C-alpha cells in the first residue's frame, strides 16, 4: 500500500486461485484515511471476503498487506482491478 486516501472510494481486487473461480474483493475507503489505516482496511476486507480456511491475511510494517495461502490451498494470483480512491496505489510483490 502506498499513500493515504485523498477521497472516499472503493478498491476492487481479484484473487484467482489456480483452477478455481475469481474471488472479487471490495474495499471501501474513507476520505482522509492514512496509508497504514488503508492497509488495515484492505486486510479487514480480505479477512471477511476470502475463505478463512484457505487464506491467512496480515499487515506487516504498517503499509504491507500479506495474503498467504494455508496448507492445502491452491496457488493464486492477486490483481488490483480498479480504484476510485485518489492518491493511493497498490504495489504487488511476492515473498
DSSP letter string, 3-65: S--SS-EEEEEEEEETTS--EEEEEEE-TT--HHHHHHHHHHHHHHHS-TTTEEEEEETTTEE
> Could you report the per-residue pLDDT of 35-61, keeping only the tens digit for each?
999 999 999 999 999 999 999 999 999
Report pTM.
0.94
Where along the chain do its domains lie? Answer: 9-83
Residues 81 and 72: their CA atoms lie apart, in Å, by 26
Query: What is the mean predicted confidence (pLDDT) over 20-40?
Result: 97
Q: Measure Cα distances from 31 to 3, 12, 43, 54, 85 in Å.
A: 12, 17, 18, 32, 8
Amino acid at each position: 500500500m502506498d499513500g493515504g486516501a485523498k477521497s472516499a472510494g472503493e478498491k476492487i481486487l481479484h484473487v484467482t486461485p489456480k483452477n478455481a473461480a475469481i474471488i472479487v474483493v471490495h474495499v471501501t475507503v474513507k476520505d482522509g484515511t492514512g496509508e497504514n489505516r488503508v492497509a488495515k482496511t484492505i486486510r479487514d476486507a480480505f479477512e471477511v471476503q476470502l475463505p478463512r480456511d484457505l487464506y491467512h491475511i496480515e499487515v506487516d510494517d504498517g503499509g504491507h498487506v500479506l495474503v498467504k495461502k494455508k496448507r492445502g490451498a491452491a496457488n493464486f494470483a492477486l490483481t488490483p482491478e480498479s480504484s476510485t480512491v485518489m492518491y493511493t496505489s497498490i504495489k504487488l510483490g511476492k515473498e
